[in-house]
Amino acid sequence: MEVSAFDIQRPFDPALEPLPCADEHGWWFLFRQRDLLLRRLDERRVEPLHGAGDPRPRHADRPEPHFLGRLDGTPCFAAELAGAAPGGELIERDLFRLHGRMDTDLFLLAGRAFQILEWDRNHRFCGRCGTATYRAEVQRVRVCPACGYSQFPRLTPAMMALVSRGRELLLASAPRFPEGFYSVLAGFTEPGETLEACVRREVREEVGLEVANIRYFASQSWPFPHSLMVAFIADYAGGEIQVDGEEILHADWFTPENLPQVPGEMSIAGHLIRWFVNQHRQ
Ligand SMILES: [Zn+2]
């Protein structure tokens, strides 16, 4: 089972401190909302900014960068691009569109950087009492000075399930998908629910089927905006396909020989489907 595609391959040491020296060269993940600031390497390939010190132009309300840790010993920083971008031949691109155009480790780190900035931006005020929060130094947490409430970076676990029936797999089309595009079932976990219970509930709600023998496949950080996708394989155990018409428009059984258009390399859904197809090729 291929699980390594979603992990950083080179040595990465996540850390908040000690902060690197000011003249040390580092990777700078500078974001304006979802857009990452990049340097072109050639027609297709891009990379984040690399250099000594914060490359953003100085201005009074420039938010402090976040030190993420070290990749191969090189310090990595995440920061918001609030005002003008640094000069030069730079481009800003949506993180979602950068898979395959960047070094994979840097792409995965960009996802990490984006989630930390998103959390920092969305928790400037206490969710309990409304007081302005501050960023703690020894842990990645924003703390309220009035009531002490701590807000850690938020992750939303979601499950994904490939339901199989012999050589067939269940694929479904959702209203948000392009025409003719299908994927495995997925959904967010609810409070108090295990991932396995979530698999059973989502499959029942979305296509009206029962499943058994739920096995873990792999997980993927999905920074759009802060999910952790946990993928499972499950066996069909009963029922007739009946779609809800809202979350799922159409679902059906497919063999490896008659697959519709499915997700690509970037997502764990694509890996899950390809893994099944390779297992059941004739
Ligand atoms: Zn508070």
Give me the pLDDT at residue 138, please.
87
Span of 52-66, 154-168, 244-258 with lowest mean pLDDT: 52-66
In the reported structure, the alpha carbon of residue 152 is separated from the centroid of ligand 1 by a whole-number distance in angstroms of 14
Give me the pLDDT at residue 13, please.
96
In the reported structure, the alpha carbon of residue 139 is separated from the centroid of ligand 1 by a whole-number distance in angstroms of 18
Percent of the chain with pLDDT over 90: 83
In the reported structure, the alpha carbon of residue 15 is separated from the centroid of ligand 1 by a whole-number distance in angstroms of 26
pLDDT of residue 5 exceeding 90: no
Task: CATH number for 156-280: choose from 3.40.190.10, 3.90.79.10, 3.40.50.2020, 3.30.230.10.
Answer: 3.90.79.10
In the reported structure, the alpha carbon of residue 128 is separated from the centroid of ligand 1 by a whole-number distance in angstroms of 5
Strands 90-94 and 185-188, sheet pairing: unpaired
Mean pLDDT rounded to a whole number for the chain: 93
CA distance 86 to 171: 45
Give me the pLDDT at residue 47, please.
97
Residues 118-127, mean pLDDT to the nearest whole number = 96
In the reported structure, the alpha carbon of residue 147 is separated from the centroid of ligand 1 by a whole-number distance in angstroms of 4
Q: Which of 80, 98, 88, 83 is nearest to 30 (CA)?
A: 80
Domain spans, the chain: 7-122, 156-280
Residues 6+ apart with CB under 8 A from 237: 209, 210, 211, 212, 213
In the reported structure, the alpha carbon of residue 109 is separated from the centroid of ligand 1 by a whole-number distance in angstroms of 31
pLDDT of residue 281 exceeding 90: no
pLDDT of residue 6 exceeding 70: yes
230 falls in which pLDDT band (50, 70, 90)?
very high
Give me the pLDDT at residue 3, please.
47
In the reported structure, the alpha carbon of residue 135 is separated from the centroid of ligand 1 by a whole-number distance in angstroms of 13
Residues 3-27, mean pLDDT to the nearest whole number = 89
Per residue in 53-70, pLDDT tens?
898 888 767 788 999 999
43 falls in which pLDDT band (50, 70, 90)?
very high
Q: Return left, alpha or beta for 166; rule: phi > 0 is left, psi -120 to 50 is alpha, else beta.
A: left
Residues 167-180, mean pLDDT to the nearest whole number = 95
> Do 168 and 152 form a contact (C-beta atoms < 8 A)?
no
In the reported structure, the alpha carbon of residue 80 is separated from the centroid of ligand 1 by a whole-number distance in angstroms of 24
Q: Phi then psi for 212, rounded to 5 degrees?
A: -140, 170
159 falls in which pLDDT band (50, 70, 90)?
very high
In the reported structure, the alpha carbon of residue 119 is separated from the centroid of ligand 1 by a whole-number distance in angstroms of 16
Higher pLDDT, 3 or 173: 173
In the reported structure, the alpha carbon of residue 133 is separated from the centroid of ligand 1 by a whole-number distance in angstroms of 8
In the reported structure, the alpha carbon of residue 116 is separated from the centroid of ligand 1 by a whole-number distance in angstroms of 20
Give me the pLDDT at residue 89, please.
83
In the reported structure, the alpha carbon of residue 143 is separated from the centroid of ligand 1 by a whole-number distance in angstroms of 8
In the reported structure, the alpha carbon of residue 142 is separated from the centroid of ligand 1 by a whole-number distance in angstroms of 11
pLDDT of residue 273 exceeding 90: yes
pTM above 0.75, yes or no: yes
149 falls in which pLDDT band (50, 70, 90)?
very high
Structure tokens at 158: 């979601």
In the reported structure, the alpha carbon of residue 150 is separated from the centroid of ligand 1 by a whole-number distance in angstroms of 8
Which residues is 47 bridged to in the sheet?
Answer: 39
Give me the pLDDT at residue 60, please.
61
In the reported structure, the alpha carbon of residue 111 is separated from the centroid of ligand 1 by a whole-number distance in angstroms of 29
The topology under which CATH files domain 7-122 is: Nucleoside Triphosphate Pyrophosphohydrolase (3.90.79)
> Do 169 and 273 form a contact (C-beta atoms < 8 A)?
yes
